[in-house]
C-alpha cells in the first residue's frame, strides 16, 4: 500500500464510523473523557475530507443514530468540543437529510440556547460557528428554518 496516496471515500467513511462506535462504547469512561477532543477533531477532519470532495458517502453519516450520538457533544463543558461538533453539523448539511435531522433531533434548540448565553469572549468562536451553520441552513432551505432560531 502506498502511504502517499489520498485515502478513498470508503476508508474515510470506515474511520468515521469507527470513531462513532468508540463514542457509543466508551461514553462515560475515563478513556472517553481523556480522548474525546482529539478523536472528535479526527472525525471533523474525516467529514471535512468527504465534504470537500462532495462525496456521496457523506450522506451515510447524516442518519438519525449518528445525529443522536453527536448531539451529546453540544452539552459538553469544553467550548472547543462544542465548536467542532457545530462544524460537523454544518458540513453534514451538504446532505438534504441533515436539515430534517437538525429539526427532529432538536439540535436547533441547543443552538438557540448557546446563542442566548451571555456573550463572553471565550465563546465568541462557538457563536461564529453557530452563525455559519444558520446561514447555510437559510441558504439551503429557508422554509425549514425554525422560528425559534429566527427570533434568537
pLDDT higher than threshold 60 for residue 41: yes
**pLDDT category of residue 1 using cuts at 50, 70 and 90:** very low
CA distance 139 to 152: 18
**Of 26 and 2, the one with more pLDDT:** 26
**Of 123 and 68, the one with more pLDDT:** 68
DSSP letter at 118 equals -
pTM for the whole structure: 0.85
**pLDDT category of residue 143 using cuts at 50, 70 and 90:** confident
pLDDT higher than threshold 80 for residue 120: no
CA distance 3 to 22: 25
* The pLDDT of residue 69: 93
pLDDT in tens, 48-89: 999 999 999 999 999 999 999 999 999 998 989 999 999 999
In 3D space, the residue among 47, 140, 67, 64 whose CA is nearest the CA of residue 110 turns out to be 67
**pLDDT category of residue 146 using cuts at 50, 70 and 90:** confident
Look at the chain and count its residues: 152
CA distance 78 to 82: 7
Amino acid at each position: 500500500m502506498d502511504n502517499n496516496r489520498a485515502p478513498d471515500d470508503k476508508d474515510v467513511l470506515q474511520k468515521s464510523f469507527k470513531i462513532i462506535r468508540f463514542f457509543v462504547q466508551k461514553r462515560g469512561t475515563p478513556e472517553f473523557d481523556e480522548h474525546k477532543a482529539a478523536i472528535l477533531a479526527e472525525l471533523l477532519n474525516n467529514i471535512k475530507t468527504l465534504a470537500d470532495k462532495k462525496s456521496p458517502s457523506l450522506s451515510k453519516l447524516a442518519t438519525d443514530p449518528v445525529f443522536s450520538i453527536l448531539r451529546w457533544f453540544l452539552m459538553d463543558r469544553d467550548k472547543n468540543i462544542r465548536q467542532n461538533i457545530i462544524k460537523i453539523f454544518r458540513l453534514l448539511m451538504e446532505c438534504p437529510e441533515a436539515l430534517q435531522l437538525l429539526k427532529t433531533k432538536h439540535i436547533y434548540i441547543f443552538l438557540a440556547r448557546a446563542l442566548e448565553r451571555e456573550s463572553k469572549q471565550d465563546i465568541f468562536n462557538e457563536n461564529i460557528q453557530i452563525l455559519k451553520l444558520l446561514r447555510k441552513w437559510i441558504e439551503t432551505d429557508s422554509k425549514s428554518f425554525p422560528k425559534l432560531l429566527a427570533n434568537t
